[in-house]
């Protein structure tokens, strides 16, 4: 009996050991590099002006352009003299991808936190509020030649990867990756009512700023919205310096961009445009979806029409590259395609009245008169080739554009003579 017990014990031990060998593996991987939460929450601060390296979103307000340095922070650029834009300062914000500004308060994502930064005095920029653990836990893009190792959220946020051998269980939790588009921008509904507390740099300012077309942040009335792949996160910013989380809700799948217009939220997704009503701001209500082929697609809206660029490529899982023009019904339900135009590799776009600006990737910046929706390709006003363009903000005759080689500022007040005024190049290391 004793002998049988010993044999049974050995069999169980071997079986358990065998199970461990089966579910544990050693491999070369992207191993996470962490920033602890305590360090993260002390990291927001102003610093000296620095060169553009990996510019992301652009946002304009009160004669200042704000350029996101991908997951590093925000450049503040003075546009007071358009022909000579000047980087004034840099705000260090680890994990920053999106920004929006209300009055003199800049909102930015800092990995899993939302931070509010007072920019009323550019000589005394400071964090004034932080909503912790409210945004999804994302990780940076990794080297595609290697697998991603297990992430331990208890250690902090992942700020980078190092290639090394790791040993871990085969089953581990999946974490979504930061958007891997080279550039992101953001479109907002303009509100020119004066705001209490002034604007950027102490100016009288307007209430909201304005961004490009590829945003995941948007402002509407007293609320800030942020979208990820499938959810909308809402914040009450009625007191700009004290944002309060106001819940979240599912809004669809493969959401990429947000554009707020006419009390509605227009979401660009990889399979279509989703329209939500903001009649009840904290309960966005589904209105309709306009489906298209799988692709990457920002959207802008003006005067009853939506303009959507569809881009192909490996990330976008498509070979389609085009501009779609969609007539919107009064109730935004029965929307119809009226025209489509072949493009090279379009990213962001901007609209000012009947003038449409399209960032067509390697084909450069293209400018069209879109008064006649059926003949847009016959009414190209200008093209600026030999620059890889990503996103634009048209504003009162000035066009702010970000591309692979830096920031460009154009004057389009004379449509027969659209010209480059100033430029800030990307630093080449």
Q: What is the pLDDT of residues 329-360, one digit of tens each?
A: 999 999 999 999 999 999 999 999 999 999 99
Cα 166 to Cα 29, 30, 151, 210, 285: the distances in Å are 7, 9, 12, 45, 46
pLDDT at 312: 77
Q: Which strand ranges, in their side-by-side order, compose the sheet holding 419-425?
A: 389-395, 398-403, 406-411, 419-425
Domain end call among 149, 166, 200: 200
- Take residue 261 and report the two structure tokens written for it: 């217009």
- Asked if pLDDT for residue 394 goes beyond 90, the answer is yes
| Any domain includes 211 | no
- Asked if pLDDT for residue 316 goes beyond 80, the answer is no
Could you give the CA distance from residue 417 to residue 351 in angstroms, rounded to a whole number?
Answer: 18
Could you give the CA distance from residue 362 to residue 385 in angstroms, rounded to a whole number?
Answer: 8
pLDDT at 201: 81
Name the pTM for this structure: 0.89
| Any domain includes 148 | yes
Domain end call among 167, 200, 233: 200
| Any domain includes 257 | no
Could you give the CA distance from residue 382 to residue 384 in angstroms, rounded to a whole number?
Answer: 7
Residues 126/130/134/138 CA torsion (nearest 10 deg): 30
| Any domain includes 188 | yes
| Any domain includes 424 | yes
Q: How far is C-alpha 208 from the chain's CA centre? A: 17
Looking at the 3D structure of the chain, how many domains does it have? 2
Looking at residues 394-408, what average pLDDT do you find? Answer: 94
| Any domain includes 327 | no
| Any domain includes 214 | no
Which tens digits make up the pLDDT trace of 192-201?
333 445 889 8
- Asked if pLDDT for residue 191 goes beyond 50, the answer is no
Could you give the CA distance from residue 262 to residue 208 in angstroms, rounded to a whole number?
Answer: 15
Domain end call among 157, 176, 200: 200
- Asked if pLDDT for residue 5 goes beyond 60, the answer is no
- Which structural domain, as residue segments, surrounds residue 36? 32-200
| Any domain includes 216 | no
CB 403 within 8 A of CB 56: no
DSSP state of 111: T
- Could you give phi then psi for residue 12, rounded to 5 degrees? -65, -40
- Take residue 232 and report the two structure tokens written for it: 């909308």
Paired sense of beta strands 147-148 and 24-35, if any: parallel
């Amino acid at each position: 009996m004793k002998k049988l017990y010993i044999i049974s014990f050995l069999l169980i031990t071997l079986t358990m050991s065998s199970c461990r060998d089966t579910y544990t593996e050693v491999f070369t991987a992207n191993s996470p590099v962490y920033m602890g939460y305590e360090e993260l929450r002390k990291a927001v601060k102003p610093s000296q002006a620095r060169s553009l390296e990996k510019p992301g979103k652009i946002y304009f307000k009160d004669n200042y352009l704000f350029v996101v340095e991908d997951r590093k922070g925000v450049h503040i650029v003075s546009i007071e003299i358009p022909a000579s834009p000047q980087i004034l300062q840099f705000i260090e914000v680890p994990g920053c991808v999106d920004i929006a500004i209300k009055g003199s308060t800049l909102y930015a994502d800092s990995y899993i936190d939302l931070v509010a930064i007072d920019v009323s005095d550019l000589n005394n920029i400071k964090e004034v509020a932080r909503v912790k653990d409210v945004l999804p836990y994302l990780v940076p893009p990794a080297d595609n030649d290697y697998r991603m190792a297990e992430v331990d959220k208890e250690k902090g946020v992942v700020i980078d990867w190092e290639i090394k051998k790791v040993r871990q269980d085969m089953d581990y939790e999946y974490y979504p990756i930061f958007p891997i588009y080279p550039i992101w921008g953001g479109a907002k509904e303009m509100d020119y009512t004066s705001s209490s507390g002034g604007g950027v740099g102490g100016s009288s300012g307007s209430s909201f700023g304005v961004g490009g077309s590829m945003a995941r942040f948007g402002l509407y009335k007293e609320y800030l919205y942020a979208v990820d792949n499938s959810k909308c996160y809402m914040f009450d910013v009625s007191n700009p310096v004290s944002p309060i989380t106001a819940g979240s809700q599912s809004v669809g799948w493969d959401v990429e961009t947000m554009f707020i217009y006419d009390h509605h939220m227009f979401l660009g997704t990889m399979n279509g445009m989703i329209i939500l009503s903001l009649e009840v701001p904290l309960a966005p209500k589904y209105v309709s979806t306009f489906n298209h082929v799988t692709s990457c697609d920002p959207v802008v809206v003006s005067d009853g029409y939506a303009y959507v660029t569809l881009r192909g490529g490996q990330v976008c899982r498509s070979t389609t590259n085009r501009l779609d023009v969609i007539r919107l019904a009064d109730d935004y339900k029965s929307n119809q395609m009226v025209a489509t135009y072949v493009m090279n590799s379009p990213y962001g776009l901007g609209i000012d009245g009947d003038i449409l600006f399209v960032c067509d990737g390697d084909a450069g910046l293209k400018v069209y008169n879109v008064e006649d929706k059926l003949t847009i390709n016959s009414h190209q006003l200008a093209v600026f080739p030999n620059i890889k363009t990503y996103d634009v903000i048209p504003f009162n005759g000035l066009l702010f554009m970000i591309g692979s080689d830096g920031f460009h500022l154009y004057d389009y007040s004379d449509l027969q003579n659209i010209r480059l005024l100033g430029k800030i190049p990307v630093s080449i290391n």
